A and B are shown apart, each in its own frame.
Chain A
Amino acid sequence: DAKTTQPPSMDCAEGRAANLPCNHSTISGNEYVYWYRQIHSQGPQYIIHGLKNNETNEMASLIITEDRKSSTLILPHATLRDTAVYYCIVRPMNRDDKIIFGKGTRLHILP
């Protein structure tokens, strides 16, 4: 079973920031938080990951709470191309590190 909980769907107006929450209350000390997204009929695409510090790259920002039990993915200026299913995943740092995907959040960007 996936170790994360996400809302099934969210709407966001184009040009606004999209904030996607994720709960991972059972995360352990050696597990990272990863975010992927899947645009229709494509393979999932890596977005960002982090351990305990906030992270930012050209696609998004990741805010992880101090207790690491939840995180938020922020798309600062959402566009229609950001419409996708977003997956939050926790993943350990070892050799046998298979990812179990949950159902994710279906993000609709509204024009």
Chain B
Amino acid sequence: SQTIHQWPATLVQPVGSPLSLECTVEGTSNPNLYWYRQAAGRGLQLLFYSVGIGQISSEVPQNLSASRPQDRQFILSSKKLLLSDSGFYLCAWSRPGGGYTFGSGTRLTVV
């Protein structure tokens, strides 16, 4: 069966520090991968999606970047965090025409 792992569950980082969130998928190959962010009390915002290794599409201009170094690994990064980067970050995967499966999320607080 397919599983998605996302870590860490919570993270507190100072303004200006770097960020690296990792997401891995098991039990499938060549999945579509996604990063979403949910600010407090707000909806889900699509940040990045990837249909293959090294293929990244950015949905909104921001202080973040994403990379897909391996087929089932998706990384969200920042060189210098801003207060506005605080939120609940969710990774998801899908097969074409299939439903999305979300990870358990990372709650990031930038202080």
A-to-B contact residues, CB < 8 Å: 32, 34, 36, 38, 41-46, 49, 87, 93-104
**Can you list 26 A-B pairs, Cβ within 8 angstroms, ordered by A?**
A32-B97, A43-B90, A43-B102, A43-B103, A43-B105, A44-B44, A44-B92, A44-B102, A45-B102, A46-B99, A46-B101, A49-B99, A93-B96, A94-B96, A94-B97, A95-B96, A96-B51, A97-B32, A97-B97, A98-B32, A98-B34, A98-B46, A98-B57, A99-B100, A101-B44, A101-B46
Whether the pair B43, A34 counts as a contact (CB closer than 8 A) is: no
| B88 in contact (CB, < 8 A) | yes
Q: Which of B1-49 contact A (CB under 8 A)?
A: 32, 34, 36, 43-46, 49
Q: Which of B39-80 contact A (CB under 8 A)?
A: 43-46, 49, 51, 57, 59
Whether the pair B96, A97 counts as a contact (CB closer than 8 A) is: yes
Whether the pair A100, B92 counts as a contact (CB closer than 8 A) is: no
Q: Could you count the A-B residue pairs with CB atoms below 8 Å apart for me: how many are there?
A: 56
Whether the pair A43, B51 counts as a contact (CB closer than 8 A) is: no
Give every chain B residue within 8 A of A36 (Cβ-Cβ): 100
Q: Which residue of B lies closest to A101 (CB)?
A: B44
Whether the pair A102, B100 counts as a contact (CB closer than 8 A) is: no
